[in-house]
Structure 1
Amino acid sequence: MMSIRAVARSVPRTLTRLSSTALRQSRAARPSSQLLKSSWTPFRTSQFTSAFSTTPFRQSANSAVDEELSVKLESELQFEGELKESEQVPASVKDFLENSPFELKDTSGKEDVFLTRTYENEKITVSFSISDLANYEPDEYNEDSALGDEELDTPEGKQLAEAEAEEGVEDGEEREPGVPCRLNIVVEKPNKGALNIEAVAQDGQILVENFYYFKDAKMAHGETPEAVHAAEDTYPGPPFGSLDEDLQILMERYLEDRGVTQAMAVFVPDYMDLKEQREYNTWLKDVKTFVDA
């Protein structure tokens, strides 16, 4: 089952982040009493004070803001920690990592994730990025939704929207499509170049969009500006959907034999969700460390 976070990302921008992120917003929707009592007003009136008192006054105000920001960051970290304790790693992720022939390469602080394996004399690389989550723009939500934008801006509205999303899943109602996760698949053979397949993992399926061939494997990876330029000048082949249906089926089976299967289509979105959450926690810690320094 998709996590609350994943479900939240499948609804419009006004409803996104109903998972951990939306819950963060619901807790942060009301300004704290400390924030209301902060020194914003003296900041605005400081321009009327003498030049001699401006510098130390601003330093003092900045210190107060720094402290409030640090406290808020710590609150977010604690809240994320509570969410992490209540969540479990999806079975799809465990099963894939334990049973798949692919080796996972996930570098902390980087958006891209790589899956690599060898198949006979071939080297296969599948990459995807958590940037797809941040850039995802879902279709316009139901116009007859009972909740308006103003209601959604309140903590009660967010909680109600989250409850409705969970209820819809439990009742088996039709759900919005999941986040489309782009896959870049490269199949290399020594001294024979490479196939570069662009596909999308969504709702448990792998949908092939383009099927390229490059005589130089470097062009498939695009590691240098020269390689990218050379790839752009290469004939890309016809759109995959315009090929003969039997040819499309055989090409899809070709990928399945190499491990690009339904299991991967389920794994990728779930793993992206986990990685995005880890990176967000790391980001919170790094920002807090910087503010506190």
Structure 2
Amino acid sequence: MASRMILRAATRAAKVSRAEFANILRQQTIRSNVRAFSAFPVVAAKHAGGKVSKKDKRGPISPRDELVSILNDELSFETTQAKEEESASGLMEIIDAHGFELIDVPDVDNVTLKKTIDDGTEILVKFVPSDVNSYSGESPYGEEEFSEEFENEKDLEEGEELDEEFNEGYLPTKIYITKPGKGTVVIDANSEPDNLAIEQVTFFKDSAVALSDDTLAEQTRKSVYWGPPFQNLDHRLQDAYYSYLESVGLDGEISEFISSYSKVKENLLYRKSLEDVKNFFES
């Protein structure tokens, strides 16, 4: 979630250069401090050693009223963003073409895709829309990485757009392939804008252990041998896994759906949260 919130700051502009995004990241702490004093403009100016002009003077405003006002602004912006994303999506066509059913419960931060293929094998794909991550960790760049990447990069040019995959990040995705009475294969993967990257493949003889969310099943899963990291497997085996996934409809288009739909869903959840908090403070 933290990563998506930082990326959201970058997407407020139509196009963001690396230099511009670097400046956004540099000012995160500063902006937080400014917001803390924003309800007291005169006091903040005096602490900063500045002068307050007549134009800056205004009647007293309570911190609550300012919070409600800013919540309204944020809600308005996010609503506009949602309309732009949803109008260009056409996402359900992808699901229909690949034979998946979309299971999406309102106000719940998880989504499931489901299908059953000809031999009776059931396939579930689960992801949490707010779980999008950057390839560099919790924030796109740590302080040291930030300095090395942005300040020492000689070929940095004003107006250069952020790399597409950096902009999008990846979304952890779990794929459950179940044959009745024969167990479940669980594939941990990362959904990128146009690619599904496998991280781990694990077999569970008891499908209930693989699929259940209860505490006992979770404890049992921890004791199961998870196997080596996927990238350590023989390349032929890696290719065979990817070929199988494509054969059952789990290809780059599904990964694109997951990436795009997660944005729409997370925006919806965020707007609902903003609305709830705004109503709380207004009441």
| TM-score > 0.5, shorter chain as reference | yes
**Structure 2 partner of 1:50:** none
Deviations 1:206-250 (A, max 9, x none): 111111110111222241111111111122233322332222221
**Structure 2 partner of 1:36:** 40
Larger Rg: 1
**Structure 2 partner of 1:284:** 274
2-structure distance, mates of 1:241, 1:34: 49
Query: Residue type matched to 1:36 in 2?
Result: F
**TM-score when normalising by structure 2:** 0.70
Matched residues, number: 240
SS of alignment partner, residue 184 of structure 1: strand
Matches within 5 A, 1:215-230: 215-230=205-220
**Structure 1 partner of 2:51:** none
- Residue 105 of structure 1: which of 81, 94, 103 is its match? 103
With over 3 angstroms needed to count, the CA separation of the structure-2 counterparts of 1:87 and 1:208, relative to structure 1, is closer
2-structure distance, mates of 1:129, 1:70: 29
Query: Residue type matched to 2:72 in 1?
Result: E
With over 3 angstroms needed to count, the CA separation of the structure-2 counterparts of 1:39 and 1:105, relative to structure 1, is farther
**Structure 1 partner of 2:161:** 168
**Structure 2 partner of 1:83:** 81
Alpha-carbon RMSD = 3.8
Query: Residue type matched to 1:178 in 2?
Result: E
The reply on whether 1:178 has 2:168 as its aligned counterpart is yes
**Structure 2 partner of 1:143:** 150
Query: Residue type matched to 1:19 in 2?
Result: T
2-structure distance, mates of 1:196, 1:112: 17
SS of alignment partner, residue 109 of structure 1: coil
1-structure distance, mates of 2:123, 2:91: 20
Query: Residue type matched to 1:214 in 2?
Result: F
Name the stretch that deviates more: 281-290 or 95-104.
95-104
Contact 1:180 1:200 (8 Å CA) reproduced: yes
Query: Residue type matched to 1:103 in 2?
Result: E
The reply on whether 1:18 has 2:18 as its aligned counterpart is no
With over 3 angstroms needed to count, the CA separation of the structure-2 counterparts of 1:145 and 1:268, relative to structure 1, is farther
**TM-score when normalising by structure 1:** 0.68
| Structure 1 gap segments, 5+ residues each | 1-7, 41-60, 147-160
Identity, % of aligned pairs?
Answer: 26
Deviation of 1:127 after TM superposition, in Å, equals 0.7
Contact 1:210 1:239 (8 Å CA) reproduced: yes
